[in-house]
Structure 1
Amino acid sequence: MDVEASRFISSYLRGALGVGRQVLSRAARLALDIALPTLCVSCREPVDGEGVCAACWARLSFIERPYCPRLGIPFVYDPGPDMLSMEAIASPPAYQRARTAVRYDDVARALVHALKYQDRTDLAPAMGRWMARAGSELLAGADMLVPVPLHWRRAWRRRYNQSGALARIIERQSGVKMRGEVLRRVRATEQQIGLSRAQRATNVQGAFQVSPDRQAEVQGRRIILIDDVLTSGATLDACARALLRAKAAQVDVLVFARVVEIR
C-alpha cells in the first residue's frame, strides 16, 4: 500500500471515529433527558419548559415602575417624574443608567447560580428575554452590547461566560450587536462575595481594559454592559470607566437581578 493510500485510510478512519463519538454522545444525552426529567432550579419539582416551575416563576419579583430613572432601584411609592434615589444622588456611578429584570431573591439566586456554576445554559433564553423587556428603553438607542468579561483562567475553568450567554439572547431579541471582544479583564480578581463595598471597589480597580485594537469601535458609541447580578455595582462601574476612557459616548447597564435593600 502506498503512502497516499495509507494517509487516506487513516484520515477516513479518524473521521468515522469522530462522527461515531458525536452520535453516541447525542444518544447518551437524549437517553439522560428521557430518564431524568428537568427539575425546577428553585424547588426541584419536575417542570416542563425553561427550568423554573409556574409557582416559583410567580415568586420572582419583577422590577417595574416606579423606580429611580438613573439606577433602576424600585421605589415603595411614586415620588413623581425624574426623582432620583438617595444612592444616585449620594454616589452616582460612571455608567449613566441601570435597568434590572428582577430583585435578587431566593428564586433569582437559584437561577443565577444554576446558569453560572451548574452549566444550565438552557436558562439563558428566559432570563435574557426578561432582561430585554426590562431594558427596552436602553436598547432602543444602543450601538452595542458588551458582556462583563471573565479573566481567561476563570473562563477556562467555567468553559463559558454567563454574561455572554445572556448578551447573545438579548442580541437576538433586540437586534443590537454583541461585541464580546471589546472589553478584557486584564487582572485576575478575588470573588466579590463577602467583601465590603470599599473592598469590592478596590478589588476590581484597574482590572478591565478596552482591547487596543478595538478602541475605534468604542469611540462615540452608546454601549450597554450586560451582567447577571448587580450587588454594589463596583464591577460594572469599573467596566464603565474603562469604556469611557476609550471615549465611549455613554455606558448603560442591563442586568438580570439586583440586590435591593428593604427600607
Structure 2
Amino acid sequence: MTETFPERGRSTIAAPAAPALSSAQRASRVGRGLCRAVLGVGRLVLPVDCAGCGAPDVPLCPACAAPLRAPPRRREDAAPRLDTMDGRMPLPVWAPAQYVGPVREIVVSWKDRGRADLGRHLADAIAAAARQVAPALEAWDQSTPLLVVPAPSSATARWRRGEDLVGRLGAVTAQALEPRLPGTRSTRALRRRWGGHDQVGLGARSRGANLAGQVAVRRAARLQVGGQPVLLVDDVLTTGATLAACERALSAAGAVVVGALVLAATPPPGRRSGGTGT
C-alpha cells in the first residue's frame, strides 16, 4: 500500500561557512583514520567475537543479525522531538529493528569501538530495508528524482571514527533504491556547524538544544536540493532531534522531506527492557 506525506515548510537557518582546518586538526583526522585502519586490518588476522552476543569466531552471528534484516516498520511515534506540535503529522521514519540489546551493542561497536568489520553487515541491512520501503516512496512524481541525504556527523565524531559512517549508509541506500526509483542518488547536502557537540549521552531536551541552528545545508548544495523530494538516512532514531534539525534545514532550502530510514529506533518508554524484537 502506497503512503503519501504532506509537504512541509520551515524558516530559514543561517549557515556560515566552517573555518578551515588547522594543521593540528588535519593531523588528528589522519591519525584517527590510520588507527581505525590498523584496527580493521588487525581484525582480519585475529579472532573476533560477535558484536551482539560475544559468540566466538564470527563478527555477527545469525541470531544477532536477524532483527536488522527484519521488515522495516514505522517508528516515529517513539520520537518526541519529531512532533512539530502544530497539528501536522511527524516525519515518517522506518527502521527494521529496535535499538536495544544486541542491536545496540552492534551499532555502538561499529561507530565507537573500531569494529569496521561490521560495516558490510550494516550496509546490507540498510539496503534490504530501503528496497522494502521503496513502494511507499513511489507516490512522488518520478519526473523529480529522489535525493538520499545522510544526517551529518559532528567533526569530532568524524575524527574519532576516521570516516563518515552515516554517509556510507546514505550511499548504500541510494544504490538500493535506484532500480525501483530511477535517478535516485545520495548527496551529503547537510553539515554540522562548528561548536556543536556529539549527541551521545544527551536527553531529549538537551539533544534539541544542542542541535538548535547547528545543522545547515551546504552552500554548494542549496540549488541542488531545492524542489527535490528527500529521504533522510541515519543510523539510530532516539528522540528525533537530529532528523528534525535536518528536516528544518532542508525545508528552508526548498526541499520536500518525505521520510527517513534508520537502522534502529529506540522503543517507546515501557518497552525498552525487551530483546531485539522488531
1:161 and 1:252 mapped to 2: Cα distance?
Answer: 21
Is residue 2:152 matched to residue 1:149?
yes
- For 2:186, what is the secondary structure of its paired residue? coil
CA distance in 2, matches of 1:172, 1:61: 17
Q: CA RMSD in A?
A: 3.3
Between the two structures, name the one with larger relative contact order (CA 8 Å, sep ≥ 6). 2
Q: How does 1:18-37 map to 2 (within 5 A)?
A: 29=41, 33=44, 35-37=45-47
Choose which of 52, 58, 81 in structure 2 pairs with 1:42.
52
Using structure 2 for the length normalisation, give the TM-score. Answer: 0.67
Q: In structure 1, which of residues 211, 215, 230 is the aligned counterpart of residue 218 of structure 2?
A: 211
2:121 to 100, 120, 123: 123
Match of 1:57 among 42, 60, 65: 65
Work out the CA distance in 1 between the residues paired with 2:165 and 2:52: 18
Query: What is the correspondence of 1:161-180 to structure 2 with a 5 Å cutoff?
Result: 161-175=164-178, 176-180=184-188
Structure 1 residues 64, 127: CA separation in 2 closer, same or farther (over 3 Å shift)? closer
After TM superposition, give the deviation of residue 40 of structure 1 in Å: 1.2
Letter in 1 for 2:222: Q
Secondary structure at the residue paired with 1:206? coil
Matches within 5 A, 1:89-238: 96-117=91-112, 118-120=114-116, 121-140=119-138, 141=140, 143-175=146-178, 176-180=184-188, 182-238=189-245
Residue 253 of structure 1 corresponds to 260
Q: Distance in 2 between matches of 1:40 and 1:139?
A: 34
- Between the aligned residues of both structures, percent identity stands at 28
Q: Does structure 2 retain, via aligned residues, the 8 Å contact 1:103–1:259?
A: yes
C-alpha change, 1:94 and 1:251, in structure 2 (3 Å) is farther
Residues 67 and 96 in structure 2, CA contact (< 8 A), matched pair in contact too = no
Kept in 2: contact 1:138–1:224 (CA 8 A):
no
Task: Give the direction of change, closer, same or farther, for the CA distance of 1:214–1:202 in structure 2 (3 Å limit).
Answer: same
Structure 2 residue identity aligned to 1:248:
A
Checking the alignment, whether the CA contact within 8 Å between 1:138 and 1:252 is kept in structure 2 is no
Is the Cα–Cα contact under 8 Å of residues 61 and 103 in structure 1 kept in the other structure? no
Whether the aligned pair in 1 keeps the contact of 2:72 and 2:129 (CA below 8 Å) is no
Q: CA deviation at 1:63?
A: 5.9
- Runs of 5+ consecutive residues of structure 1 not aligned to the other structure: 1-24, 74-84
Deviation at 1:114, TM superposition (A): 1.9
**Structure 1 residue 105: Cα displacement:** 1.3
**Structure whose CA Rg is larger:** 1
CA distance 1:64–1:164, shift in 2 (3 Å)? closer
Letter in 2 for 1:177: R
Cα distance change of structure 1 residues 219 and 60 upon mapping to structure 2, 3 Å threshold: closer
Unaligned runs of 5+ in 2: 1-36, 179-183, 272-278
Q: Cα deviations across residues 54-95 of structure 1 (Å, max 9, x unaligned)?
A: 232346694666x57xx366xxxxxxxxxxx9x869677886
TM-score for both structures, normalised by structure 1: 0.70
Change (3 A) 1:124 1:216: same
**Whole-angstrom distance in 2 between the partners of 1:232 and 1:221:** 26
